[in-house]
Amino acid sequence: MRGKQGSGKRGTTRRRIKPSTVLIAAILGIWGLMILYPFYNVVIVSFMTEKEYVRTAFVLFPKELTLDAYMRVFSNARIWSGYRSTLLIVALGVPFNLFLTVTLAYALSKKSFPGKRFFNFLVVFTMYFSGGVIPLYLLVKDLGLMGSLASVIVTYGVSVYYMIIIKNYFLGIPDSLREAAQIDGANDLVIMLRIYLPMSTPVLATFLLFFLVDRWNSWYEGMLYLTDAKKWPLQLVLREIVATSQKTEPGMAMGLLAKRENFGMGIKMASVVVTMAPIMVAFPFLQKYFMRGMTMGAVKE
Amino acid sequence: MKHSKIGSKTDFRKLGREIARNKYIYLIMSFGIFYLILFSYVPMRGLLLAFKDYKVRRGIMGSPWVGFAHFERLFREADFRRAFVNTLQISFGRILFQFPFPILIAILVNELRGGKGKKALQTIYTFPHFLSWVIVAVVVGNVFESDGAANQLIQLFGGEPRLFLADKTLFRPLLYFTDVWKESGWSSIIYLSAISAISGELYEAAAVDGANRLQRIVHITLPGIRSTVVVMLLLAVGGVMNGGFDQIFNMSNPTVQKVSDIIDTYIYRITFTQATDFGFSTAVGLFKSVINFVLLVSFDFVARKFEGRGIME
């Protein structure tokens, strides 16, 4: 069915591009545009003048561009404090994640040692069962971390899922290297630092990036543990900006009329851009590392 | 008897030597293990609250027992029952409507010749995965606003504009669509790597036999990724108690709560925005965790038995 469509038209061209190829490329292209358009819209609205937006909210090419919304976003102290919190969480949290996860992965990648099965079970069990929100909340309270950025940093430590992928990578490093080093008198710590880690730098880079994104995007822990809004990470600040500009939209049923009356929209969109800009700018260059991590997780042998 | 005793003694000594020889392994491991004990196992002690009347001043251990009172209340609570049903409905809705998309994308992308275009497409497809639902809820939400692109399109074809975000019948399809939008590109990578593991000879032989593209997809590609599909499906079914907190929390509003409230959003609401009863909230959480655990263990077992690998690996 699919192959037949338009076969007369394109099938006879000199390069012999199959009609089904055209169809597939078209479907994938449209899906790509459907993913891009909402981002384009966000960026456009963030640069639009209030006047033009109020007249027609749906614009593909605005006539006039302005930085008004960005000026107001950057004069908002909350955005700056959000950036500061998020950067602190990333700077302290990512090394914390990497250290705990990689050391565990290395230890559990050793072929056999007394208690290995027990420790392995102890670690993996946490993926299947957890105490849930409230017990963790009470623990954070008991530890006296409530209201401190430390609560957000410390409650995300080992990622068992990433640990397993890193461990599987370590398992692929030939044992003979370990044995040779052992004969030379190296202990497991030296072997980790001198052999395993240097041989895994691309993998470590990949998971550094994964942790970085996880940290950048975290908001839930902050919402639970950070009582003082001045300490909120960027994502949570954004959540609030979005929520407050929605509040001025009275009665969802009147949406059509109501939204025109306020210009939270430009600020809302500029805040979104400011929050996702670092990932958006860096992503095209880093995508291959992320994909490698995902592929490693899928293919074990 | 005597022999085995001597044997166990030397075994014991051997064990001691083995432990000593691996002392650095234990040292290296100790940080992660200590972390998990403190942040995963110690909180499990808090699950006792599900059977207690929590008094802040008396702490978890000192609070009085109430037996199964919280659970009895749980099953009487209409809001909980609704959240429970919603969770299952939304999760199975996701499996039904969302699950095929990444597979479809992987198959189609695989049919493209490599090159800059294919790379650019994949960059676009995978990007939304790296944004939080806080952001995506706004970015995609715009499209479905009263005067957003979706309604412009509807009006272009002569339809009536709809309030997608505040419409009880449209909200769940919207959940499925936006999650497909955000995640299917990223999930497709698993299937793509499974496809790339299929031997090229199979395709060549099929081409020689005159198989067309659709036949190659149906008879080579699909069987080739069967095991991956099954494992991903089992993983999805194992997670039906979740339903997608981040997405729903950021996209729903009181108007659609009836169809959007899941167990996790229910727990959050009763714990942190309404009168706090930690004992009851913990009971809800425990109820969810136990079912979740049973599902994951059973499906993991099924996956190991039939596909030779667990769902979590």
pLDDT digits (tens, 9 = 90+) for B12-58: 888 999 999 999 999 999 999 999 999 999 999 999 999 999 988 88
Query: Which tens digits make up the pLDDT trace of A78-112?
Result: 899 999 999 999 999 999 999 999 999 999 999 88
Span A34-60, mean pLDDT? Answer: 85
Is the CB of residue B195 less than 8 Å from the CB of residue B225? yes
Q: How far is A227 from chain B (nearest CA, A)?
A: 12
Task: Choose, out of B25, B269, B292, B294, the residue to mutate when testing the contact with A (most A CBs < 10 Å).
Answer: B25
Partner-chain residue, chosen from A32, A107, A128, that has the shortest CB–CB distance to B121: A32
Q: How far is B267 from chain A (nearest CA, A)?
A: 8
* Same structural domain, B128 and B269: yes
Is the CB of residue B288 less than 8 Å from the CB of residue B243? no
Count how many domains chain B has.
Answer: 2
**B179 domain-assigned:** yes
Task: Choose, out of A4, A23, A31, A213, the residue to mutate when testing the contact with B (most B CBs < 10 Å).
Answer: A31
- Chain A residues within 8 A of B162 when measuring between CB atoms: none
Query: Which tens digits make up the pLDDT trace of A133-182?
Result: 999 999 999 999 999 999 999 999 999 999 999 999 999 999 899 889 98
* Same structural domain, B127 and B246: yes
Alpha helices of chain B — where are they, by DSSP H?
Answer: 2-21, 23-36, 42-45, 59-62, 69-76, 78-97, 100-111, 116-126, 133-143, 149-156, 168-196, 200-208, 213-216, 222-224, 226-238, 245-251, 257-260, 263-268, 278-307
* Same structural domain, B88 and B161: yes
Span B182-204, mean pLDDT? Answer: 92
Span A19-35, mean pLDDT? Answer: 94
* Same structural domain, B288 and B188: yes
> Is the Cβ pair B27, A189 closer than 8 Å?
yes
* Same structural domain, B45 and B73: no
Query: Which tens digits make up the pLDDT trace of A191-248?
Result: 999 999 999 998 999 999 999 999 999 999 999 999 899 999 999 999 988 876 554 4
Instruction: Give residues with Cβ within 8 angstroms of A209, minimum separation 6.
Output: A286, A289, A290, A293
* Same structural domain, B22 and B149: no
> Is the Cβ pair B282, A256 closer than 8 Å?
no
**B63 domain-assigned:** no
- Chain B residues within 8 A of A294 when measuring between CB atoms: 186, 189-190, 193
Residue B263 has pLDDT above 80, yes or no: yes
**B74 domain-assigned:** yes
Distance CA B131, CA B170 (A): 24
Q: How far is A10 from chain B (nearest CA, A)?
A: 16
* Same structural domain, B149 and B193: yes
**B62 domain-assigned:** no
Residue B6 has pLDDT above 70, yes or no: no
Q: How far is A294 from chain B (nearest CA, A)?
A: 7
**B54 domain-assigned:** no
* Same structural domain, B87 and B9: no
- Chain B residues within 8 A of A127 when measuring between CB atoms: 312
Query: Which domain covers residue B34, as residue numbers?
Result: 2-49
Question: CATH number of the domain that B191 lies in?
Answer: 1.10.3720.10
* Same structural domain, B94 and B194: yes
Q: Is A74 on the interface with B (CB under 8 A)?
A: no
* Same structural domain, B123 and B263: yes
* Same structural domain, B40 and B93: no
Q: Residue A295: what pLDDT?
A: 78
Q: Residue A57: what pLDDT?
A: 63
Q: Is A101 on the interface with B (CB under 8 A)?
A: yes
Q: Residue B7: what pLDDT?
A: 61
> Is the Cβ pair A57, B148 closer than 8 Å?
yes
Q: Residue A6: what pLDDT?
A: 41
Residue of A nearest to B278 (CA): A134
* Same structural domain, B30 and B133: no
Residue B308 has pLDDT above 60, yes or no: yes
Is the CB of residue A271 less than 8 Å from the CB of residue B110? no
Q: Residue A300: what pLDDT?
A: 44
